[in-house]
Amino acid sequence: MYLVTAEEMRMLDRYTITKGGIPGIILMEQAGKAVAEEIMARQPSPGRAVILGGTGHNGGDGWVAARHLLYRGWTVLLWRLGKEEKIVPDAKVFYEACSRHVPVRGCDSTQLPELERDLRSADVIVDAMLGTGAKGELRQTVAEVVTLVNAVDRARVVAVDLPTGVDADTGAVSTMAVKADVTVTFQYPKWGHYLRPGTDFCGEVIVREIGLTPPSLGATPVPRARLNDPELWHEYCVRRDPWAHKGTYGHLLVIGGARGMLGAVAMAGEAAYRMGTGLVTLTVPESERLALAAKVTQAMVWSWPGDGVFAAGSVAAFRETPRRFSALAVGPGLGRFAGEEAWMAQLLEQADLPLVLDADACNILADYSGLLPLVRARKQATIFTPHPGEMARLMRLPVKGVEENRPLVARKLAERLQAIIVLKGRYTLIAFPDGRCLLNPTGGPALAKAGSGDLLTGMIGALLAQGVPAEKAVPMAVFVHGRAGEMTGMQEHSVMVTDLCQAIPVVIDQLVD
């Protein structure tokens, strides 16, 4: 499913009307009817609904919803924000249809006490004040009405398309926003439904089709972003070949594990096996070899010179003792060490394999800009998996600057490095060098624990090692990782990363045909 900006939505709407031959009023009817249906699905017996309608098309959807509720026996109390003469033509049709049965009151500051009484008596409040056409800070009356709506406890608040006050593209809330229980949006979700703080105001987001011409039938623009959906990579969720042997499913090399951080490589290795890799080798500094060998059972251990951390030049082992790997993951518990710049440069030049860079591998690249051309020059896929702090270092921005502009910064870095960027977070973003972007809907608070990133690194590496192309491997691993987090359900407080690892097979089993 596409994820769109307000402008993309407007253009697809335009395309449907002008080239697809569907009058806008039909789209509005579908949108408003969907809102009414969602309300009635949650409250089947007729109740009392307050409809707050603006003068734009969002308001139009609200008047349509009001009409359908009215026909089904609901008591509807209609309030208009803005002057009647400003109502847009399509919305005017439904506004007038409603006014034939029920009076519509115009809301100005003098009427707020009366509106407040209506709101307090309502079962449902429909916020159809502003949608994708909102610009800048809320004007005073709208802001006052938002405050009143948010003070009501009893009613279910249903936002039409977006809660008033939430920016469709950035999720920004400039002054305040309606706190909705449900948001019914149309055709495609908007970025603002998934970006903070807007996402916290949406409640449950329901996406309803309204009959826009799809890009597959020529509608333009083709949105650049999508939700990460299994249909994008499902062809790689297949049963294993009965004649397979351990060499059939690739060999992943994981490099990391400085003293005190062996758990990170061990977890990445375990996750890689859980994701189906045939062989996993873990490489740690020589001083840590025995400790790691005692800790892991399945993975092979290979050590490079180093006491506590890798020694400068230790990466030479990679060329001097060639082994056949099919993918490389660098970073889990890697730490920082003397000679790291040259070490990383050598690795980037020599590792002609799909490569995942996580944790301190990202930090090393952030600190030595001279390494970046080596990343760009790579022939095989490069994947960075930064959390917002690592992303901030890579982009030389404060963390706030990253978090407030997640899609923008992820895309910029992907383009700059010609790499796939996995910007971790509640909704992890995957940005590709060509500007495409995926937002991952799975996940949850269980993943907010040390080790969860190591798991993801191992999972991505695992699929790369099996020969899954990077543009499929990354979204598949991110999705499965998130779903594994969801599967721990009510144990989100106490879940251990090993539990997440154990949930991987269950998730895979559900995905495999």
Ligand X SMILES: NC(=O)C1=CN([C@@H]2O[C@H](COP(=O)(O)OP(=O)(O)OC[C@H]3O[C@@H](n4cnc5c(N)ncnc54)[C@H](OP(=O)(O)O)[C@@H]3O)[C@@H](O)[C@H]2O)[C@H](O)CC1
Feature table: binding site for AMP: 424-428, 453
Which residues participate in the annotated binding site for (6S)-NADPHX? 57-61, 131-137, 161, 264, 333, 387, 454
Would you count residue 215 as binding ligand X (CB under 6 A)?
no
SS3 25: helix
**127: partner contacted, choices ligand X, K ion, none (Cβ within 5-8 A by kind):** K ion
User: Closest CB to ligand X among 28 and 76?
Assistant: 28
Of 77, 130, 431, 456, the residue at the interface with ligand X (CB under 6 A) is 130
* Whole-number Å distance between alpha carbons of 210 and 278: 47
Of 3, 4, 13, 454, the residue at the interface with ligand X (CB under 6 A) is 13
Which H or E run contains 125? strand 124-128
C-beta of 183: minimal distance to ligand X in Å? 11
Would you count residue 366 as binding ligand X (CB under 6 A)?
no
Ramachandran quadrant class, 188 (left: phi over 0; alpha: psi -120 to 50; beta: rest): beta
Side chain identity at 369, as an amino acid letter?
S
Of 3, 4, 9, 76, the residue at the interface with ligand X (CB under 6 A) is 9
Which residues participate in the annotated binding site? 57-61, 127, 131-137, 161, 164, 264, 333, 387, 424-428, 453-454
Rounded to the nearest 10°, the torsion over CA 194, 196, 202, 208 is -20
Would you count residue 138 as binding ligand X (CB under 6 A)?
yes
User: Closest CB to K ion among 98 and 160?
Assistant: 160
* Whole-number Å distance between alpha carbons of 9 and 31: 14
User: Closest CB to K ion among 145 and 227?
Assistant: 145
Ramachandran quadrant class, 218 (left: phi over 0; alpha: psi -120 to 50; beta: rest): left
**360: partner contacted, choices ligand X, K ion, none (Cβ within 5-8 A by kind):** none
Give the up-direction half-sphere exposure of residue 232: CA atoms within 13 A in the CB hemisphere: 22
Q: Are 147 and 112 in contact (CB under 8 A)?
A: no
> H-type helices in 19-172, by residue range?
24-42, 57-71, 89-99, 112-121, 140-151
**333: partner contacted, choices K ion, ligand X, none (Cβ within 5-8 A by kind):** none
Give the binding-site size for ligand X (rule: CB under 6 A). Answer: 33
Would you count residue 54 as binding ligand X (CB under 6 A)?
yes
User: Closest CB to ligand X among 130 and 422?
Assistant: 130
Of 160, 299, 476, 503, the residue at the interface with K ion (CB under 5 A) is 160
Assigned token pair, 172: 């920004």
C-beta of 97: minimal distance to ligand X in Å? 15
Residue closest to 366 by CA, chosen among 399, 396, 328? 396
Would you count residue 61 as binding K ion (CB under 5 A)?
no
**349: partner contacted, choices K ion, ligand X, none (Cβ within 5-8 A by kind):** none
Would you count residue 461 as binding ligand X (CB under 6 A)?
no
Burial 163-190 (b: 16+ CB within 10 A, else e): bbbbbbbbbbbeebbbbbebbbbbbbbb
Would you count residue 507 as binding K ion (CB under 5 A)?
no
- For 158, other C-beta atoms within 10 Å of its C-beta total 29
Among 124-132, 303-311, 471-479, 491-499, which window interacts with K ion (CB under 5 A)? 124-132
Would you count residue 57 as binding ligand X (CB under 6 A)?
yes
Give, as one character, the DSSP assignment of residue 166. B
Please work out, in degrees rounded to the nearest 5, the angle formed at the alpha carbon of residue 463 by the alpha carbons of 457 and 468. Answer: 135
Of 127, 144, 288, 358, the residue at the interface with K ion (CB under 5 A) is 127
Q: What are the residues binding ligand X (CB under 6 A)?
A: 9-10, 13, 27-28, 31, 54-61, 82, 86, 88, 130-139, 142, 160-161, 186, 210, 212
Q: What are the residues binding K ion (CB under 5 A)?
A: 127, 131, 159-160, 164
